[in-house]
Structure formats: C-alpha cells, structure tokens
Amino acid sequence: LDASAVMVNEHTAFRVDWMPFAGRKQSGYGVGGIPYTMRDMTQDKMIVFSV
C-alpha cells in the first residue's frame, strides 16, 4: 500500500493542519500542509548586525 494517508471507516473530510497530504508517484504535486507550504514558500536569509 503506497499511500500518503489511509482512513478506515472514516471519510476524507477530516484533516488537522499538522497532517500532511500528498499525491503519490505521478498523481500529485508534492506534499502539502502548513509546515510544508511554509518551507516551500520561504527563503532563508542571513542578517548580520554590528553592535
């Protein structure tokens, strides 16, 4: 079973923000969810202050 999520005797409308959701293999765009989206849409930068 190669799936990103499996729900037994439950509908797929239930999802909390920390649960990732994704398509597997060629059926999806990648992993989604708040932490994954934040990582994908931000860019690390270094800031140096001279005190």
pLDDT in tens, 1-49: 666 667 788 776 666 666 666 666 666 666 666 776 777 778 888 889 9
Give CA–CA dist 30/36, Å, rounded.
9
Residues facing residue 21 across a β-bridge: 32
pLDDT for res 20: 66
> Is 22:37 a contact under the CB 8 Å cutoff?
no
pLDDT for res 50: 92
Q: What pTM value is reported for the model? A: 0.34
> Is 23:4 a contact under the CB 8 Å cutoff?
yes
pLDDT for res 17: 66
Which residue's structure tokens are 């849409």? 41
Is the pLDDT reported for residue 51 higher than 70? Answer: yes
In the chain, which ranges are continuous DSSP H helix? 34-41
